[in-house]
Amino acid sequence: MSRLKVVRPMIRVDPVFPGRPLRLVVLASGEGTLFQALLDARREMPSFSVQALVTDKPCAAIERARHEDIPVATVTPSRKNTSVPTQTPEPHPDQCDDSADSWPAADSQAGTCHHDTYAERRRQWNSELAQAVQHYGPDIVVSAGFMRIVGDEFLARFGGRMINTHPALLPAFPGAHAVADAVAYGAKITGSTIHLVDSGVDTGPILEQEAVPIHDGDTPDTVHRRIKIVERRLLVSTLDAIARRGYISDGRKASFLP
């Protein structure tokens, strides 16, 4: 039986520096320490600029952005197992109202919203996220502690131009529990990976990696603290390399241009 050949699109991102800084939009969900590393690096590294922060919920990263006068947008997805979407302080397209293009109107008797399926709501969230990011005109989208998997609607616009940091040496230990998984497995080396985002979970082409040792007696917390030090530096240096050199990817492997 013959196997179907997987045809992956060739992706090329050309350097922009010194013509102008590489324009970044950062996605974050939590404390924003990686985001802060980018903000701090701007002062000594003119090769990139942070245009905006986009989050999926209120989080500490927002305060970091406001302190630096960085624009912020929050696009909150609805919960998977509830009929009422997550509320945000400001009006959001996921909230029920009487407009023709909103979610279906509230039931007058039961007082609840009849929503489309979760998959349809997820597609809408991805489209809204893409629109929010596109508003700031990024060259590269940086997932820096963003705890959501983006879908086809988002990747159709930013596929090949979105990078993610992962606290392991991919393809080993993908997923949300990479550090704990490495420690539990008994690995002696883990690390940090910067990769392009594709439709899989931590499966995209790798741009950079750096190893971090795991010592006897280490816990996931001690290893993660060690990784974060490397991760912040590696993210900054990778973005600087993208700005100065650009990269090319066949969808499986990625490399910087000469």
Catalytic positions: 166
- Cα dist from 47 to 25, 65, 133, whole Å: 14, 19, 20
Going by C-alpha positions, the residue among 162, 221, 224, 226 that lies closest to residue 194 is: 162
Strands 22-28 and 48-55, how do they pair?
parallel
C-alpha–C-alpha distance, residues 180 and 184, integer Å: 6
The residue behind tokens 């530096």 is: 233
- Cα dist from 76 to 63, 138, 179, 215, 240, whole Å: 17, 20, 27, 39, 30
Going by C-alpha positions, the residue among 91, 84, 151 that lies closest to residue 124 is: 151
- Per DSSP (E only), the strands in the chain are 11-13, 22-28, 48-55, 72-74, 140-143, 162-166, 189-196, 206-213, 247-249, 254-256
Q: Which residues, listed in sequence order, are joined to residue 122 by a DSSP beta bridge?
A: none
C-alpha–C-alpha distance, residues 232 and 202, integer Å: 18
Sequence-distant (6+) residues with CB within 8 A of 161 are: 11, 13, 138, 139, 140, 141
Going by C-alpha positions, the residue among 42, 88, 47 that lies closest to residue 64 is: 42
Sequence-distant (6+) residues with CB within 8 A of 218 are: 183
